[in-house]
Structure 1
Amino acid sequence: MSDLAAIHVLKKKARLDDDSYRDLMARETGKRSAKDLTPAERRTFITVLNGLSGGAQTTSRTSGKYEAKLQALWIAGYNLCVVHQRSNAAMRSFLKRQTGLDHSRFLHNEADALKAIEGLKVWIRRATGNDGLFKTEQGLPRLYNDPRFQVVTHIWSELVKLDRLPAANLTVFLQAETGQEWPEHIEQGQWIDLQNKLGQLLREKGKKA
């Protein structure tokens, strides 16, 4: 069996939906498609998937969603320069402090999940000074209530302060990176890629500022 075939088999065994699967891949390799992985990255990702699929029989689909949400939020915090270490070990340390659990795969209980997820949101809002992050407001267009869009626009505002923008304005940047004329047409996976790219730029520029 090829590495690509093994990845897709393990994805199914781990009961990962497409978004969770691609978010996990991005966290581990920085890429969102198995076709783009190098042979070494594929082997690394197979090891990660093996770890997840080994517990798939006893882990509910809902608990998997808690884990994926925590991971996505942790990466957002990293891109916002609030979380300083993107690693699993750093995320597990935070989870341990919040819930007493040693690993996010043990995140079965909704109360535990809320302690970790909401605690991380509060930390990010406080550190960035942006109380609107990860919140929804009735009456606003759906795009403005999308946390991915919120993260991208916040990072952009920070780059404005540093006078280190990668394009004339955000609209030009979004169109150049995604090929979409309207932000409403940008796919969820593309927002993650935008978040990662701008986050890397913010970290680099922040160090030089």
Structure 2
Amino acid sequence: MSAYAKIHVGLKQLGIDGDDARDLYERVTGIRSLRAMSPKQHDEVIQELGRLGFERSSSRRRTPLEGRFAKKLQALWISAWNLGLVRNRDDKALIAFVRRQTGIDHVRFLSNAQDARKAVEALKAWIAREADVTWPKFQDGRAEKLAVIEAQCRILGVPIGSEISAATDETLLAAMQSFGRCIRAAKGD
């Protein structure tokens, strides 16, 4: 893969675009344009992207997050992705969010329910505030999926069909993903 391609993949993976990318180039090399850079400067940009969390090797298999609360956190993170709130769907971004909320370095170390609740509730509050999701009173995966789909329909300005409440969990998940692609495309992500 060429240096240009690596840089663009890294920028996309990290959710950096436009002027933010040019600011990064300038901070690292003193130059705001990739075309004006030398190969050595391209390598410096790639190294900086790596420092920021870009994983250059796409051949490595993704391992699922481990931990008592990992699945719940991942489900909420993907909901935020499908609502167009999260620009980086990667688990590293979720781990960074959990670290900011709890001070704990990784979700696998979230063994205390009170610490996990901080991260879960912060994520739910952010999603509710930014995407107008009305979460059900009691934790129910199906009702939470429906709440996200209702918010997605509002964002897209489409009516929610009455048949959605009878859909299978797999169909709900597929609908969330499809609406998420539409939302991200409308935002230019």
User: What's the TM-score bracket when you normalise by the shorter of the two chains?
Assistant: 0.5 to 0.7
Determine if contact 2:146/2:165 at 8 Å carries over to the other structure: no
Decide which of 73, 78, 84 is 2:81's aligned counterpart: 78
| Between structures 1 and 2, the one with greater helix share | 1
How far is 1:152 from its partner? 0.8
Tell me which amino acid in the other structure corresponds to 1:203: R
Q: Could you say if the C-alpha distance between residues 195 and 97 of structure 1 is closer, same or farther in structure 2, counting changes exceeding 3 Å? A: same
1:44 aligns with 2:65: no
How does 1:163-178 map onto structure 2 within 5 Å? 169-171=159-161
Q: Could you say if the C-alpha distance between residues 92 and 134 of structure 1 is closer, same or farther in structure 2, counting changes exceeding 3 Å? A: same
CA distance in 1, matches of 2:106, 2:171: 28
Tell me which amino acid in the other structure corresponds to 1:44: R
Tell me which amino acid in the other structure corresponds to 2:137: T
CA distance in 2, matches of 1:101, 1:189: 33
Count matched residues.
Answer: 131
Question: What corresponds to 2:42 in structure 1?
Answer: none
Tell me which amino acid in the other structure corresponds to 2:82: N
Question: What corresponds to 2:178 in structure 1?
Answer: 197
How does 1:173-188 map onto structure 2 within 5 Å? 182-188=163-169
Determine if contact 2:70/2:107 at 8 Å carries over to the other structure: yes
1:101 aligns with 2:104: yes
1:156 aligns with 2:153: yes
How far is 1:104 from its partner? 1.1
5+ residue gaps, structure 2, are: 1-57
3-state SS in 2 of match to 1:85:
coil
Tell me which amino acid in the other structure corresponds to 2:146: F
CA distance in 2, matches of 1:87, 1:133: 25
TM-score, normalising length: structure 1: 0.55
Tell me which amino acid in the other structure corresponds to 2:186: K
Larger radius of gyration between Structure 1 and Structure 2: 2
For residues 79-129 of structure 1, the C-alpha deviation after alignment (integer angstroms, 9 at most, x for no partner) is 11122211111111100011111111112110011000001111111222x
How far is 1:187 from its partner? 1.7
Question: What corresponds to 2:50 in structure 1?
Answer: none
CA distance in 2, matches of 1:170, 1:185: 12
5+ residue gaps, structure 1, are: 1-40, 53-62, 175-181
3-state SS in 2 of match to 1:44:
coil
